[in-house]
Structure 1
Amino acid sequence: SISIKTMKQDSCNNKKVNILIAEYIPSLNKGELEILYGMTRIFSSLGPYSVYLFSLLPSFDRKHYPPEVNLINVVSDLRLVNPLYIKSKLDSLRNLTMIILQYLYFIFLYTLKKDKILKNIKKDIWRAYINADVIIICHDQMPIVFGFLLPFTPILNVLVSKVLSKPLVILANGTHYVDLSYSSFFYRIVTKILLPYDINNTSLIIVRDYETYILFKNAVKEKRKIFVTADPAFLLTSKPSGFLLPFSGCRYTIGVALSKEAIIKSSIVKNSSKRSFVEYLNLFAKIFDYLIEKLDAMIVFIPHSIEPYFDRDDRRIALEIYKCINHKDHVKLLLDDLSLQDLRSIIGSLDLLITTRVHAAISALSMGVPTIVLKWPSDRRAQNLIGVYFKQKDWIIDISAIDYNAFKEIICDFLSRKNEIRECILETVYIIQRRALLNSKILKIFVSRWNEYQKK
């Protein structure tokens, strides 16, 4: 339970800045977790701080989140069916209704009673809102209007921040939902109507790619409040964790972090989902067998996401490909729930990473590991977060157009030039990390000026 007295005292004495991240960051997805750890690096520029974060799986999240993060069990507080395990449209409708009604009821009560509401309020979520110094929303590929898992919370956060007179900050958003051509008609219409309202009623907007920056800048009236930096995950540094792999003295160690989602979305392009999916499994198995036979490689399957919902557990696709590989003695399957530090330690020891996970690529590149990113046709993240900065088109490959012989040549070329590529990566990463540090400077200046404005 969150202590109201502690939060209020810290805020009043300027000893701590209370930051509310009013959304869920899945702890079982290491890419999301890297963003969260990067955010804590950003927040550290504000001086002493406390972070309060929505949680849907407190038992798992507590294990993986940074120690300074305080959890708010929104499933309990908002009386929801856990959004991660919804099985019917009726449950979705129930959650939507409960969220909207409770947010509006809180706004109504606060408008009537203001600070007196603290004496009667018992739920952590509303305490956190009232005592927050900054409210953070819409990280990663979070839709600005619809939100993720907690429907319409971005626009509800706009309403709450206006009533509470709190600064609302969009931090580290970008790219996934920029192109609405892949969305439903309803989604496109609602987004076009409500997106300008959300953006124009946000105090500060910091995005991580230029495409999102241009989209938002065209919609925002006050141009000075929007900035483009880089993904906070680039701020993470590698620390040896002591986790070692039995590499068996192979010539190369090649990491593989593939998602089932990417392969399925690529197979749909060929209009034969089931057959094409199996073909992709066999294709990857054939490529890995070649690398083992010809290059004496050890293949390490890295589970960058082990989310048990929405078929997002990378270990499942790894097992399916593993069954198709002939030289299983040169394959290492990582099946445990590894810490972020252990996973980064493993990635940092690779000669090459092949991945569909953008933040697995960011993790590898930030440590100088040559990386090939596989993307599905409509995914813009790889190009916007990696391709734009590194300016290497051959590092990003469309899975739907992948060719066995061409892909073999690309991998062999990467391995033969790995030292040269590593030097190129580290030079570019230094520049990107400096851009990512701008997140800290911008947020620090903003909070300082907001506090000065409030005193007046």
Structure 2
Amino acid sequence: MIKMKISIINNYPGFNKGNEALLNSILTSLNDKFPDAEFNVYTYDLELNYSIKKDYIRGIKVNFHRELGKIGINKKLIRTFLITVSLLLYRFPGNIKIFNGNGIKEFADSDLVISTGGDVLTEDYGPRSLYSCYLNILYGKLLKKPVVLYAESIGPFHNAINRRMSKIVLNKADLITLREELSEKNLKEIGVNDPIIKVTADSAFLLEPADENRIKEILNIEGPGIHPGPMIGFSVSSIISDYGFEGIENKSEKYEMYVRTISEAVDHITGKYDATVIFVPHVIHPRHDDRKVANDIKKHIKDISGCVLIEGDYKAEELKGIIGKCDLFIGSRMHSTIASTSMGVPTIALAYSQKMHGIIGKMLGQKKYVIDIKELDKDKLISKIDEAWSDRESIKKDLSARMEDVKNLSKQNAELVYGVMARLKKGI
């Protein structure tokens, strides 16, 4: 048995609980296939990432390093240049290394490079984000490492330059696993056909929630306003409004429209169903803090006595456990809806990109309960909430019937990685 050294790139856990759910479930799956593997995770904003303060995640040894490739200006550009040259030197014998810190040696010594960021390989977040992710992938190929894109949503690519660049970079991968079929279509359209390509499922479907006692402890701390009766959860987002409300051009006005739409839905829920409404934050970055959005919504709610805002910084497993307590969930964050559906909670997904449509809509058969942000308004959201509430028992049964197959697809990600490495490395 060979001890593997695995580098994970393009994942931003800690402040992004969706990425944390991806990372933690991937670590568990890969550690099952490669016992005692050494994991190095390359990310950014380390000072905001609680995970780097821990040497182990779910009992697995993990080392965190600052992201290697970052397209930017001034110091970022200089640092990226030095890292690129230093990695290039690792291809040649000798010990001349001009920039040997920050996990460069660990990356150069790795047996496998895995990219897993959910949907970072897209135009949705701008070219600089996309090109930074591609640079990290190319670093792996520069050092002649096997590179795997693990349970990703990829594309679509509309810009001609991005299409060409994506074709070149993605064709260099050894294996691409995708979490929905729309991504496979996107890859075919731009001519990506060299790697092994398989449609599997998001790895976070395998994430185990925190234990019952821990969930009760958190709810006692955060939710003294929770009363007997139903509980309906919300995941909100500071960026989703940018993609909707097409009749409005100003981003601040779009955001205000989103806030008011959610607040009116909350008023409807508390008035009609006498339910506790709980806001579960999935991103807590200072620039994009779901807790701030929830507080902005709270200002417009008529009766806040039945509303609970989770204010603490909790692990992805803990948030999944909280979401699992809900009788209905409305999610603007992808992995909040993966958490809810995998726990059998009837879910309304607010979609700004293909991932919600492909995963929640098609794979889980919940197309009826996916609302595109471009079509969101108060009446549509309230109507869909009422419909899902009335149909909640049927939805639970449907999700339960599908989930075993979906989780088996999730498990295939690590199995496919093992297969690739078995062919490349004799003796595994």
Give TM-score scaled by structure 2 length: 0.87
- Contact residue 21 and residue 54 of structure 1 kept, 8 A: yes
From 32, 37, 55, the counterpart of 1:49: 37
Is 1:39 the counterpart of 2:17? The answer is no
Q: Hey, what's the Cα distance between the residues in 2 that align with 1:151 and 1:401?
A: 30
Instruction: Report the equivalent of 2:322.
Output: 346
Q: In the TM superposition, what is the alpha-carbon distance from 1:273 to its structure 2 partner?
A: 4.4
Q: Hey, what's the Cα distance between the residues in 2 that align with 1:94 and 1:237?
A: 42
Letter in 2 for 1:323: K
Cα distance change on mapping 1:299 and 1:124 into 2, 3 Å: same
From 137, 143, 149, the counterpart of 2:121: 143
Q: Deviations over 1:117-170 (max 9, x none)?
A: 58x874142211221010112531122799875954524643x44453321112
Is 1:359 the counterpart of 2:335? The answer is yes
- Contact residue 347 and residue 363 of structure 1 kept, 8 A: yes
Letter in 1 for 2:335: H
Q: Deviations over 1:245-304 (max 9, x none)?
A: 435434210111111211233134434544454343333222211211221111111111
Q: In the TM superposition, what is the alpha-carbon distance from 1:26 to its structure 2 partner?
A: 3.4
- Contact residue 144 and residue 154 of structure 1 kept, 8 A: no
Give the alignment's Cα RMSD to 1 decimal: 2.8
From 391, 402, 410, the counterpart of 2:384: 410
Q: In the TM superposition, what is the alpha-carbon distance from 1:23 to its structure 2 partner?
A: 3.1
Q: Hey, what's the Cα distance between the residues in 2 that align with 1:380 and 1:153?
A: 19
Instruction: Report the equivalent of 1:449.
Output: 423
From 225, 236, 239, the counterpart of 2:210: 239
- Contact residue 169 and residue 202 of structure 1 kept, 8 A: yes
1:315-394 equivalences in 2 (<5 Å): 315-376=291-352, 379-394=353-368
Cα distance change on mapping 1:151 and 1:366 into 2, 3 Å: same
Q: Hey, what's the Cα distance between the residues in 2 that align with 1:366 and 1:271?
A: 36
Q: Hey, what's the Cα distance between the residues in 2 that align with 1:346 and 1:133?
A: 37
1:21-40 equivalences in 2 (<5 Å): 21-40=8-27
- Contact residue 302 and residue 334 of structure 1 kept, 8 A: yes
Q: Hey, what's the Cα distance between the residues in 2 that align with 1:235 and 1:318?
A: 28
Q: Hey, what's the Cα distance between the residues in 2 that align with 1:161 and 1:282?
A: 46
Letter in 1 for 2:148: V
Instruction: Report the equivalent of 1:305.
Output: 283
Q: Hey, what's the Cα distance between the residues in 2 that align with 1:300 and 1:366?
A: 19
Report the 3-state secondary structure (helix = DSSP H, G, I; strand = E; otherwise coil) of the residue aligned with 2:38: strand
Instruction: Report the equivalent of 1:5.
Output: none
Q: In the TM superposition, what is the alpha-carbon distance from 1:106 to its structure 2 partner?
A: 1.8
Report the 3-state secondary structure (helix = DSSP H, G, I; strand = E; otherwise coil) of the residue aligned with 1:68: strand
- Contact residue 361 and residue 370 of structure 2 kept, 8 A: yes
Letter in 1 for 2:291: R
1:57-456 equivalences in 2 (<5 Å): 57-59=45-47, 60=49, 61-63=51-53, 66=57, 68-74=61-67, 92-95=72-75, 97-113=77-93, 116=95, 122-137=100-115, 139-143=117-121, 149=129, 151-152=131-132, 154-155=134-135, 157-158=137-138, 160-175=139-154, 177-180=155-158, 188-218=159-189, 219-222=191-194, 225-240=196-211, 241-242=214-215, 243-244=218-219, 245-246=223-224, 248-271=226-249, 273-309=251-287, 312-376=288-352, 379-452=353-426
- Contact residue 356 and residue 375 of structure 1 kept, 8 A: yes
- Contact residue 354 and residue 374 of structure 1 kept, 8 A: yes
Greater share of residues in helix: 1
Cα distance change on mapping 1:279 and 1:55 into 2, 3 Å: closer
Cα distance change on mapping 1:363 and 1:192 into 2, 3 Å: same
Cα distance change on mapping 1:409 and 1:191 into 2, 3 Å: closer
Gaps of 5+ in 2: none
Letter in 2 for 1:321: I
Q: In the TM superposition, what is the alpha-carbon distance from 1:388 to its structure 2 partner?
A: 1.0
Cα distance change on mapping 1:24 and 1:32 into 2, 3 Å: closer
Q: Hey, what's the Cα distance between the residues in 1 that align with 2:338 and 2:20?
A: 13
Gaps of 5+ in 1: 1-12, 84-90, 181-187
